[in-house]
Amino acid sequence: RSDGRRKRVHPTSEQQRLLEAFFAENPKPNSKRRLEISEAVNINVRSVQIWFQNRRTRLKRQPKLEGEVDE
């Protein structure tokens, strides 16, 4: 990019599967655990942190959306 920002990289389906498995095990990993996850999944620690933040937000939002449909 000409503005100096990096292009977004989406996790592969295998990386996504691994991240979901780690999330099911612990939705709030500490910094040491995030480092281990980043090495296992082969993405940088910051991306792991953001992925977990986004996943927790998606989890919180999910029941609200389902509840609105029932009303």
* pLDDT per residue of the chain (71 residues) written in tens, 0 to 9: 678 887 888 999 999 999 999 999 999 999 999 999 999 999 999 999 999 999 999 999 887 666 665 55
The tokens 């281990």 sit on which residue? Answer: 36
The one-letter code for the residue type at 20 is E
Position 22 scores a pLDDT of: 98
Superfamily of domain 13-70: Homeodomain-like (1.10.10.60)
For 61, the token pair is 């939002």
pLDDT of residue 7: 84
Report d(CA 66, CA 61) in Å as an integer: 9
Maximum pairwise Cα distance, the chain: 48
CB atoms within 10 A of CB 52: 20
The domain ranges of the chain are: 13-70
Let me know how long the chain is: 71
Cα–Cα distance measured from residue 48 to residue 63, given in angstroms and rounded to the nearest whole number? 24
Confidence (pLDDT) at 39: 98
